[in-house]
Chain A
Amino acid sequence: MTQSFRLPEGGLIDRDRRLGFRFDGRDYMGYAGDTLAAALLANGVHLVGRSFKYHRTRGILSAGAEEPNALIQLGEGARSEPNLRATQIELIDGLEARSQNRWPSLSFDIGAFNNALSRVLPSGFYYKTFMWPASFWMKYEYVIRHAAGLGEAPRGRDPDHYDKTFAHCDVLVVGGGPAGLAAALAAGRAGARVILAEQDSDLGGSLLGTNGTTIDGQPAAQWIAAARAELAAMDQVTVLTRTLAYGYFDHNFIAMVERVTDHLGEKPGHLPRQRLWKLRAKQVVLATGAIERPLVFADNDRPGIMLADACRTYVNRYAVRSGNKAVVFTNNDGGYTAALDMAAAGVNVRAVVDLRANPEGPATERAEAQGLHIMPGSAVVGTSGEKRVKQVRVGRVDPGSGRALAVSETLDCDILAMSGGWSPALHLFSQSRGKVVFDEALGAFVPGDPAQGAHSAGACNGAFGLADCLAQGHAAGRDAAKDAGCKPGRDGARAPEAENHGFLPAQWAWEVPSDKPPGRGGKAFVDFQNDVTANDLRLALREGYHSIEHVKRYTTTGMGTDQGKTSNVNAIGIVAKTMGREIPEVGVTTFRPPYTPVTFGIFAGRDVDGLLDPVRKTPIHSWHEQAGAAFEDVGQWKRPWYFPKPGETMHQAVNREVKAARDSLGIMDATTLGKIDIQGKDTAEFLNRVYTNAWSKLAVGRCRYGLMLNEAGMVIDDGVTARLGENHYLMTTTTGNAAPVLAQLEEFLQTEWPDMEVFVTSVTEQFATVTIAGPNAKPLLRELAADLDLSTEALPHMAIAPGRVAGIDARIARISFTGEMSYEINVPASCGLALWHALMTAGAKYDITPYGTEAMHVLRAEKGFIIVGQETDGSVTPIDLGMDWIVSKKKDFIGKRALSRPDMLKPDRKQLVGLLSENPEEVLPEGAQLVERVLPKPPMPMIGHVSSSYHSPNLGRSIALAMIKGGQARMGQTVLAPLADGTTVTCKVVSPVFLDPEGTRLND
């Protein structure tokens, strides 16, 4: 197809680079520099989508970020992306795009049925109709979501990669139009670190869509080029095009997304597709421009009905006529500029319909001089045309009633260019919590006092004349640099100069006068993206929604991805008029980030796959891997879970490991246990306060088990602490609590007991820790640590000594979590693998068997040892665990006071017990609830739950630990575990110590 609407010359496109693209299966051509919307218009394509709710045919409304209609599904397969604005998609060769929200095709759409039914689909319809019965909502929703909606999320995994970066600057300038460029220049000249972020592919903003504009006596394009060059030459200035500042958060934290490769035909693999900038700016200059408003009249949403300034931009920037025959409908002088530029491009401008009774203004005068047909005091009261506007009906406005009289003229056209005035783009300012105020003369909200270090400049600040934009931008840049602590700029620096025509004078009518009663004669859309009409707003008010925030939620106006860019002021104006109030009384709704949608990829960044979360590995990890270990995640650590031999199931492997540790020799990597080095003369007293038991009498070279509570009296950690020297201790914590316990100790020392002389330092990673357990642990160690006296006299149970193991400097602690004779050997982390090899080699004669966390759990459960986080869940006291023996009555400690609260003394608290199922083969599921009597169906009173449950190969049967109400008084009784599969397991309550209650195995 030829680009029949392309002008023979002009525009900022590169006519030497022709690009082929495909839209809804048809091939078209465009040029480098086009947006998808510009290229479609160049090919005469206006119909690009169906509306959200009524499935009405929709065309391209705008030329920028505010586009509510032309939402496109871009690309295929896993790279497909929905809801992109055709007005912002840069054309690349081979681009594939599809319209959305239509079935089976764009021109014939079954959903358009909704439009015919629209009388029964008013706002709030879904709420009212489908909320009853409530259980049916899920079914309704499925149908509704299919009928109403936008594009499709891709189903495949995103093949692209994304980047994230922090950033800092003195001055962030948002927007690279005239105000933003002037601001960046002024701030940069003052020596500020400046970042200029422009969402478009090029700098220039509104200047790119004008024709014949001059700044400082030179054509705008030259001035832009000079500004670009000057900024590029400044080391401290970074210019980011294709970068959208989409969110403004606390303390001048601004989130931006940079499109790094989207515009490239060939995408270099080393570059991320997009980059998230997490920027902290000392000061921010908001130069975000303004958005033209549509006019609200009957059937104002047909393809071919466009914003006037967009038509002008398509002519000047893209050398595209939006159509052949245009009617311009305006309430301000600015509409005439568009009419003139279109006429100059060869468009037949049939008429300028002006709501103003006495059109005036510089552009109006030029149009008059050029002989354009002007219809003052008139309104478009209706349109026709299904896939493209064909006719507009014009009526004269009766100055007395403010209503339009009968249609005076019907005009054929294929373009209706409308201008309802301009709204400053306040989204970022509003997100920064700045309050906005209504400016009567501008008929729009403008920034009030900023809540953070933000300076607004240019059109977003209500300055629509170019000279004012440049002056405000210059001043804002200079002031922002100064506020950021930079020295004043060069002497004599001044704002660039230009003509100063805005779009005023104007006459506001939030809804265009109609020749029909309100709500009759066609839908007058306020919010195109959400399909909200003026009548919907009135309905909401009639139904009692009087707060603008409620009107917004009930009608959905200003919501969704659009955030009210074109609709906000018109909606508030109509609400105010209907309520008979002033606009400031009605107020504004809050703008939400993002300004336009951003892809989830940027939030994931490189936190995917192997980098999703740190994987912590011990120094011995490579051995475990080679041995074929199955791993268990414990926090971020990878710990060997069990070591299956070829053909072994987990059950078989764990049984073998558990037996080996009891019968001969097991070896485990215990490196992940938290280790805290504690020094200082007050350490013993400190341990007295943080542990439940007494520490004053622990001798050097001895170890003690401790239980740590929080102030609520609940167990939070346990572990063995060794006294290494007079004022030197080594505390161990559970793997998962290493960091929290250290933080807790630091907190006490700094905030509660700052006078204590105690220093705590994490040494978790300083040592590799290997545990050897079983009857042959001592013979093995004796062989590898010949210098060490391992006799019970020299190194009894719960003792620690320095020594050398296999030639490595080590600390050897005789402690046991298995109930077996067991040694914990600590060596420098870098020697961990060497130690492991040495033990494995020398232990071969004892059939040394590596065991993982599962076997460790079984071994300790056989002994009734608790695991914090398994038997405890933040609601368990030492008394509940039957560990009264470790709770000192004499001294104070963290959590002690709570233990005497009445609730702690109740006899029916859950207490730790052992459970034996009637059938020794039956292994209870962990978490199973326990009852006294099974009722025919739930609910039934529950008395406790199974906390740990295993098959014990040493006992030849299943064992379990449980927390049961009043459990210690239930010894010997029967409890029942009704399971999810309908069966019930009968269990006997027993002591939690199943094996060797006397502890004889710890001795020689």
Chain B
Amino acid sequence: MIKVNGQEYAAEGLTVAELLERKGYDRTRVAVELNEEIVFKAQYDQTVIKDGDSVEVVSFVGGG
């Protein structure tokens, strides 16, 4: 089990890119932190989420 924005989710073993796709996020509009550390954009396809990890996806909408 992992946590995504505080909610438990069965997604251990997925990469960050796979998690974003499964949850329907647009990767050009997000910032992702894994255990409070930024995941570099260029590392989304290689970064594997492990059991117990906590993922924070900040998804931006337009307006300012």
Does A pair with B? no
